[in-house]
Amino acid sequence: MRSKAPLLTRDEGLVIKALCIIVVMLHNYLHLRGFAAENEFQFYQDRADSMWQMLLHPTLNLPLHLASHAVTYALVGFLFVSGYGLVKKYEQSPVEFRRWGFIGRHYIKLVCLVLLPMILAFVVFWLVRDYWPLSWRDRVTELLLVGNLHYNHISIYPFVYWYLGMAMQLYLVYALLLHRRLSYPWWHQLLLLALVAGCGVAQMYCAPTGYTIYFLRVNMIGYVGPFVAGIVAARHLDHISIKSWQWWLIVLVSGMVMVWSLWHFYSWLWGWLPATMFAVSLVKANPWLQWRPIVWLGSVSAKVYVMHPIVRELVIGFTRHHIRVELLIYLVVSVMLAAGYAWLLRRTKIFR
């Protein structure tokens, strides 16, 4: 069975998003319940070593520990699909691309996407914990997608909306530097390589647990790699011919390398590459993953992302069950709330 062009169909891209949002949701709950601490923005060797010991002495909770620890690689899938989709929509289709219109439209959509969930999350946090989370200034800058940029005062806790500010930075880079229409000269290829290499090397010079790498990894410098990989794949990897068993081989090898990369600082910085290969090959090797509910979940993944912190606070604040019961309540209610929010947004002009 040979893969067909394009490299990723729309449904396959949505499946990747669905799998990634599940991991993100699990992490954002489990690490508050005492499961394996993550190395998302900084690298702590003791956390990596602790995860290694859990692998050597597995229990039934091992999948939950892995989901809690390896969240940074879940974000890789979102960014790869995002870069891939931008090329398909704005470079390889008749859709008109106007640089400033693109920037303005995506900025407004992201702000509108997060406005209601942030207000609800703010209120719920206060009801559950009985105090306001940080300052109004922090929340307003986060809403305006610039909360990541204040070097001496980055406030991303307790919510997860920092990702939207980072994504907006990548949209800016794409619109101002990376967008091309069908023609990809050598100097443009060199630009892509230099961008990825430069951002990666910049992180390699940072202290693994320092504030500088934290700052870089809540901004686009930490996530340029998978985004550019998606752009390159959409431009150059369509029409490749790979058999089903070869996809499975890539799943196995890239999965092993991805897991290994979690235990060393420098490999952790570049672990997005095997993670990207793992996500794509897993979906290509398993056509049954394109089950309609999974595809649908991918289509509302952005709404799940902005809504699940609200449910997390409520479940953590008011339930004391077995962890798997808590997770079931949390996941189901988050998806239901996101479905309602998606329905509401479809009634607004900007999201039609």
**pLDDT 10s digits, 18-76:** 999 999 999 999 988 889 988 989 999 999 999 999 989 999 999 999 889 887 788 99
Q: According to the model, what pLDDT value does residue 130 have? A: 67
CA distance 24 to 31: 11
Instruction: Look at residue 303 in the predicted model and tell me its pLDDT.
Output: 96
The pLDDT value recorded for residue 151 is 72
Is residue 76 within 8 Å of residue 279, measured between CB atoms?
Answer: yes
pLDDT at 3: 45
Provide the 10 A C-beta neighbour count for residue 323.
14
Q: What is the pLDDT of residue 71?
A: 79
Q: Which among 80, 15, 8, 87 is positioned nearest to 299, based on CA atoms?
A: 15
Distance CA 8, CA 319 (A): 40
Distance CA 349, CA 352 (A): 6
- What phi and psi, each to the nearest 5 degrees, are found at residue 300? -110, 20
Tell me how many degrees the CA angle 109-136-114 measures, rounded to the nearest 5: 20
Provide the 3-class DSSP secondary structure of residue 243.
strand
Position with higher pLDDT, 3 vs 94 = 94
> What value does the mean pLDDT take over residues 78-93?
95
- Whether omega for the bond prior to residue 158 falls within 30 degrees of 0, making it cis, is yes
| pLDDT for residue 11 is more than 80 | yes
SS3 187: helix
pTM: 0.94
Task: Give DSSP secondary structure letters for 87-125.
Answer: HHHHTSSS----HHHHHHHHHHHHHHHHHHHHHHHHHHH
Q: Across the chain, what does the average pLDDT equal?
A: 90
**pLDDT value, residue 352:** 66
- What sign results for the dihedral spanned by CA atoms 164, 232, 193, 225? positive
**pLDDT tens for each residue of 232-245:** 999 999 888 888 89
CA 17, distance to chain mean position in Å, is 8
Alpha helices in 261-322 (DSSP H): 265-269, 272-285, 292-299, 301-318
Taking the C-alpha atoms of residue 12 and residue 294, their distance in angstroms, rounded to an integer, is 10
Q: How confident is the model at residue 1 (pLDDT cuts 50, 70, 90)?
A: very low
Q: What is the pLDDT of residue 134?
A: 62
d(CA 34, CA 89): 42
N-term to C-term CA, the chain: 37
User: Where does the pLDDT of residue 158 fall: very low under 50, low under 70, confident under 90, or very high at 90 and above?
Assistant: low
pLDDT range class, residue 2, cuts 50, 70, 90: very low
251-265 residue pLDDT tens:
999 999 999 998 999
Q: Is the pLDDT of residue 150 over 90?
A: no
Residue 102: phi and psi, rounded to 5, are -60, -45
- 236 or 2: which leads in pLDDT: 236
Q: What is the spatial distance between Cα 252 and Cα 257, in angstroms, rounded to a whole number?
A: 9
183-230, pLDDT tens digit by residue? 889 899 999 999 999 999 999 999 999 999 999 999 999 999 999 999
Which band of pLDDT confidence, cut at 50, 70 and 90, is reported for residue 321?
confident
User: Which of 20-34, 143-157, 257-271, 284-298 shows the lowest per-residue confidence on average (mean pLDDT)?
Assistant: 143-157
pLDDT at 117: 92
Lowest mean pLDDT: which of 81-90, 115-124, 337-346? 115-124
Three-state DSSP state, 260: helix
- Choose among 329, 276, 321, 298: nearest CA to 21: 298
Instruction: Give the pLDDT score at 139.
Output: 78
